[in-house]
A and B are shown apart, each in its own frame.
Chain A
Amino acid sequence: MILILLALAIIVGSGFLSLLRGKQVRSASWIGVTGVWLGSVLILYAAGSVLFKGGMESWRREITIPGGALSLYLDSLSAFFLFPILILSSLAAWYGTGYLKPSKKNLGVHWFFYNLLVASMVTIVLAHNAILFLMAWEAMTLASFFLVTFDQEKETVREAGWIYLVASHLGTGCLFIFFLLIGAQHDSLEFERSNATANGGIFLLALIGFGTKAGLMPLHVWLPEAHPAAPSHVSALMSGVMIKTGIYGLLRACELCGSLPAWVAWVVLGMGMASGILGILFALSQHNLKRLLAYSSVENMGIIAIGLGLGLLGISHHVPGLAMLGFLACLAHIINHASYKGLLFLCAGATGHATGTLDMNLLGGLLKRMPWTGATFAAGAAAICGLPPFNGFISEFLIFAGAFRAGTTSNGEVAILCLAVIAGLAFIGGLAVAAFAKAFGTTFLGEPRSEYARQGHEVEVSMRWPIVLLASLCLILGITGPLLVPKLFPVVSGLTGYSQEIFQRELGPLMAVLPKITLASLVFFAFFAVCFALRRWLLLGRVVEQNTTWGCGYLRPDARIQYTASSFTQPFGDLFHWVLRTQRWMAAPSGFFPKPTSFRSETPDLCQGHLYHPAFLRLNWGLSKLRWLQHGKVQLYVLYIAAVLMILLVWKLAV
């Protein structure tokens, strides 16, 4: 544990040093990044020994806040979360040095908050005391707020920052109540495993609080605003791992609450399905690449929540196989999503960096200009669609395996829910392929649609390497993932309380199948390599002519004859118009000599437009009635304070 404390000190300390360097862009960046790397290596060493050798570490100091203590505890769940957090933090930081190089701003401030964000995420997964947890949670929110508002001179960025801050604090408010109620039950604010039967209402508070951070529907409103506004390495970090702390919180909350009633599993599954389906539908209809990725994060958090919901369902109905597969899928998808969503955001950042825009309708043909970025984006897109041999496959496979097993062997509500999950996940998977075919196709294939795309060029080395490393990580995890899944059992055992014997009895046959997935991936690879070699051999010595992509055989093809991002999704948009409410502006051609025509479509967020915006307007109207209290007279302000203090004193003494 001393190692971890030292590493935290290094991360925060290098942040402060970077702050002092301020204007010296190069040294500020390198100090910040070196601190993150050094700290990550030390913490991962400690976490690795706990995760792979078992055991736990703890450290505790009293502080003077009532109920608070600096209490850190490293068990297998914490160790598991430390891996995606620190690996992605390090790679994104490296990428950030290249991404921010053209910036004229004070980068010391940026790296200070970046390191603070990393340190607070580490503290969150290690905290074993509610007060410490909430302090780290708040530090994480504030640090990420300042990172999101890096380009604060832009109006849209400031607005996105405020939406993020307000949403986060509403969530944190629920968490305060949750931890106080739990603390009152346990008679202590330390995190202790409970064996009592919990009140589902308390867990609902945690679900709102942590669900806001995790971006589950309908609490996701800040994601599509904040992710496009932030610098890309920050979006990668936030979308890749920061929102996962919400899932971590939910897993801890399950532990703290004890055994939960069955309807909680319904709620979690419902939120997961809603996030998954609506998230991918909205992703499909976005034209901004990073906004699309943000909605796709909502979808993936939905899949993680489905895994969690299946786990809770299995526990409450005593179906151990379903419970263990649900939690395994939840954990596996956390790792997988962290790697490929980090990769995709970094690729999107590279695209925006090289061309100056993220509007897919203005891009196109970038694969020829940015071969590295394009190829790695393709890998990430394949991974996020759950296509083998990349890593998205295994976690969705585990959910399907669990749902099919329980759906065919159980009856009653378990069977119904499992069948609904199978249908929903299949639907999500199909739409995900469509969304990423659109994202990759319109951005990287075809011909440039505008000057922006024509000036695209490959990004520099410090941005290229992290992307390539993440893409190889996706591939390696995809191939070795099936073999690693059984290694996650200690974490699941900590969450569910099932022993190794039950695991072997229930899931032994399934685990025996997993290596065959690896084998199939390798065979696929060999097949691909053979095909590639065959193509090279066939073309050997022949004249290979290159022509305009999607030229359709015309003599003078034009970039405008390609499918655009809007036209690609038009059938889906029509089919789901009742929920997407896509707005369209069209000047259609008419007459024999048509004038210039135009078409534009936009899909604003459903929840924000129809739920939060009206609700906050009402709230504002109601609170404006209290404006007379704020009159600017200092004397009366002091009177308020004095009166409240007096009333409290008299009340306390009189009772």
Chain B
Amino acid sequence: MIDLLLILVVLTNLKLLGASRLGASIRTVAAQGVVLGLLPLVTHPHPLSIRILELAAGSVIIKGFLIPGLLFRAVREVDVSREIEPLVGYITSLLFGLAALGLSVWFGAKLPLPMGALSSWLVPVSFFCIISGFFLIVARKRAVTQVLGFLVLENGIYTFGVGAMQEVSPLVEAGVLLDVLVAVFIMGIIIFHISREFEHIETDRLSTLKD
């Protein structure tokens, strides 16, 4: 069951790297958020406690519905075209994704976890999420896609955290979720302001703002 969810996460990442439309990308991130929200339910060894349920429900609601909803609103308000406009092409992105997956598996084999991972896929998948998130931030032009990249990166950290669930308190997870939410709000405001000032939200055209 854990492996199934983790493989779903990998697939959503690959889909994101190859997606060309903004709406599809946001939906994919939402799906990834729901899958990851369910992850604590299956990784937790003991009988389900209220806190785990709360955490799972919070994750699903925030990552699966609240944040994507906010992003859709931001896209609608600034009324951008639905194209993603990559700096690196989709095929190249997918090939990079495969290379990153290989690297992540190697990391997973090399990186010793003190408490022993619940699944041998946990560490590779979390690294894959982090690398994909970085790649999305670097290789896409739109400010919205950069928010998506940031979310995926965060999901990677979250996956790693779930692996260490026995040791990390839910409070930390809740704190991380809150961080992401605030980050999305801030990004939304920035996107809104950028589009109002410059009539586009492409960050690579903001380079004249450097000091």
What residues make up the interface of A, taking CB atoms closer than 8 Å to B? Answer: 630-636, 638-639, 642, 646, 649-650, 653-654
Contact = CB atoms under 8 A, between A and B. Distances in A.
Given A633-B203, A634-B203, A646-B131, 17 more contacts: A632-B206, A632-B207, A632-B210, A633-B204, A634-B206, A635-B139, A635-B141, A635-B204, A636-B138, A638-B134, A638-B137, A639-B138, A642-B134, A642-B137, A642-B138, A650-B103, A653-B111
A635 B145 CA distance: 11
B134 A632 contact: no
Contacts of A653: 106-107, 110-111
Nearest to B127: A649
B128 to A, nearest CB: 13
Interface string B75-114: 0000000000001000000000000000100110011000
B49 interface: no
A314 B68 CA distance: 75
Contacts of A650: 103
Contact of B138 (A630, A631, A632, A638): A638
Contacts of A639: 138
A630 B203 CA distance: 15
A592 B138 CA distance: 81
B110 A635 contact: no
A635 B87 contact: yes
B1 interface: no
A153 B137 CA distance: 42
A340 to B, nearest CB: 46
Top 10 nearest A-B pairs (CB, nearest first) are A632-B210, A632-B207, A642-B134, A653-B110, A639-B138, A638-B137, A635-B138, A634-B203, A633-B207, A638-B138
B99 to A, nearest CB: 12
A166 to B, nearest CB: 18
Contacts of B207: 631-633
B107 A635 contact: no
Interface of B: 87, 103, 106-107, 110-111, 131, 134-135, 137-141, 146, 203-204, 206-210
Contacts of B135: 642
Contacts of A634: 146, 203-204, 206
B124 to A, nearest CB: 13
A633 B146 CA distance: 13
Contact of B208 (A632, A638, A646, A649): A632
Contacts of A649: 107
B134 A631 contact: no
B210 A635 contact: no
Contacts of A642: 131, 134-135, 137-138
B206 A635 contact: no
A653 B124 CA distance: 14
A569 to B, nearest CB: 45
| Residue among A631, A634, A653 with most chain B CB within 10 A | A634
A237 to B, nearest CB: 35
Contacts of A635: 87, 137-141, 203-204
B210 A630 contact: yes
A451 B208 CA distance: 52
A174 B165 CA distance: 43
A646 B99 CA distance: 13
A654 to B, nearest CB: 8
A638 B133 CA distance: 11
Nearest to B112: A653
Contacts of B208: 632
A634 B141 CA distance: 10
Nearest to A653: B110
Contacts of B210: 630-632
21 contacts: A630-B210, A631-B207, A632-B207, A633-B203, A633-B204, A633-B207, A634-B204, A634-B206, A635-B137, A635-B140, A635-B203, A635-B204, A638-B134, A638-B137, A638-B138, A642-B131, A642-B134, A650-B103, A653-B107, A653-B111, A654-B110
A633 B210 CA distance: 9
Nearest to A634: B203
A424 to B, nearest CB: 49
A642 B105 CA distance: 18
A634 to B, nearest CB: 5
A636 B204 CA distance: 9
B85 to A, nearest CB: 12
A636 B134 CA distance: 11
Contacts of B138: 635-636, 638-639, 642
A654 B106 CA distance: 10
Contacts of B140: 635
B186 to A, nearest CB: 15
Contacts of B131: 642, 646
Nearest to A635: B138
B193 to A, nearest CB: 15
Nearest to B100: A646
A605 to B, nearest CB: 30
A402 B107 CA distance: 67
A638 B87 CA distance: 14
A276 to B, nearest CB: 43
Contacts of A630: 210
Given A638-B134, A638-B137, A639-B138, A632 B110 contact: no
Contacts of A633: 203-204, 207
A638 B130 CA distance: 13
B211 to A, nearest CB: 8
Nearest to B88: A635
Contacts of A636: 138
Nearest to A642: B134
A634 B87 CA distance: 13
A189 to B, nearest CB: 26
Contacts of B139: 635
A460 B111 CA distance: 72
A462 B208 CA distance: 54
A642 B152 CA distance: 14
